[in-house]
Copies of this chain bind each other. A is one copy, B any other.
Amino acid sequence: MTITDTPASTRSEASALDLGPATHLSCRECSATTELGPYYACLECFGPLEVAYDFGDVTREKIESGPISIWRYKDLLPVPRNVTEVPNTEPGFTPLLKADNLARELGMKALWVKNDAANPTHSFKDRVVAVALAAARELGFSVLACPSTGNLANAVAAAAARAGIRSFVFIPSNLEQQKIVTSAVYDTTLVAVDGNYDDVNRLASELAGQYEDWAFVNVNVRPYYAEGSKTLGFETAEQLGWRLPEQVVIPVASGAQLVKVDKAFRELTELGLVAGGGPAVFGAQASGCSPVAAAYKAGHDVVRPVRPDTVAKSLAIGNPADGPYVLDVTRRTGGAVEDVTDDDVIDGIRLLARTEGIFGETAAGVTVAVLAKLLREGKLDPDAETVIFNTGEGLKTLDAVTPVVGPAGTIAPTTEAFRALVPEAEN
């Protein structure tokens, strides 16, 4: 499992690995190539590695005849060709809902919500974990692990249970009881660590170096893991009838999701599966953790780390690994990165729920509120076809709205009492 410096072509020919169309790993900074393996940092420059492919012939018809899950795109992912034959949580192909009510309120012409709360553990993390697990097995790992504060922990614990393999999930010891339960129920080995998420993350990196059978999904198999987010882009295009939207708004935590969705759109275009140019890509952050938005607004190419303080905990990454790439994508496509206050986040959750019957987590509130702010500021075209991503489930962040919603009142069980409470109800 050490990185050699032989040419990529030699390496992939020498390999007996089946990772589908993946041919090698490529450094996102210096473009040096590395053979497929459990590598995540370039030996030349320590830059992040990314999967490179030779896709061959991929057609709409072949995709459409596949399963109703992310595996319909397996020919575009770094996973074994028989991936559907191994038990997995079968995430993806979540609904793309036309959001006419929300569009009307915001003065927009055509808006859709990609609703990833429909995934097995109700966040987009099921996608990336499923791809990471499939690649990890092929790479010879026998244990799945991660540091996490919530959605990722749920997804790893559930995916490992379904696959019948052992898992270890590392969390900060001060995590909410609710998030502990929703991981521990899958019988993962849950380890509470005295410290903050940075401490947990550092411990995970150290353990990844010592336990060589362990795949830490977001550490040593991260290049494969991150590719899973492409499926959000593939599905959006297919569900629009093999078209790309004109604008997309995507929440930014590490930034990997936004970058990979853009990559998906470009791959579909290059393969001739969709026509025309890609959308303007907009990033959404909470003001309490908005290092990428700050860099965007300041015109910087680098992202200065911050200490997160926001209700949107699933987006609270103060030092986002893909931050610079988010800046590249949003600037190249004519998008932007914007941020909103925690009050706006709560309003965003409620607006989406009230207009479309979708109860998203705090990250969804960020996305909806940023959409509204971009429209107010004239940075997003209200007449262009727009897709926003709801990446998680409101049931996991109930505390955010608990103080502000509730019953109209409490009454005795009589029709008279009801009429007194709601006199305007018609009969």
Contact = CB atoms under 8 A, between A and B. Distances in A.
Interface of A: 68-69, 87, 89-90, 93, 95, 97-98, 100-101, 115, 118, 120-122, 157-164, 168, 171, 173, 177-178, 180-182, 184-187, 189-195, 199-200, 202-203, 206-207, 210-214, 349-350, 353-359, 393-396, 398, 401-402, 405-415, 418, 421-422, 425-427
Contacts of A101: 87, 161-162, 164
A180 B406 contact: yes
Query: Which of A87, A101, A187, A405 lies at the interface centre, i.e. has the most chain B CB atoms within 10 A of its CB?
Result: A405
Contacts of A359: 121, 158, 182, 185-186
A192 B410 contact: yes
Q: How many copies of this kind of chain does the complex include?
A: 2
Query: Which of A206, A210, A425 lies at the interface centre, i.e. has the most chain B CB atoms within 10 A of its CB?
Result: A425
Given A181-B402, A415-B207, A357 B190 contact: no
A68 B68 CA distance: 9
Contacts of A87: 98, 100-101
A166 to B, nearest CB: 9
A89 B408 CA distance: 24
Contacts of A211: 425-427
Nearest to A89: B357
Contacts of A414: 203
Contacts of A185: 349-350, 353, 359, 394, 401, 405
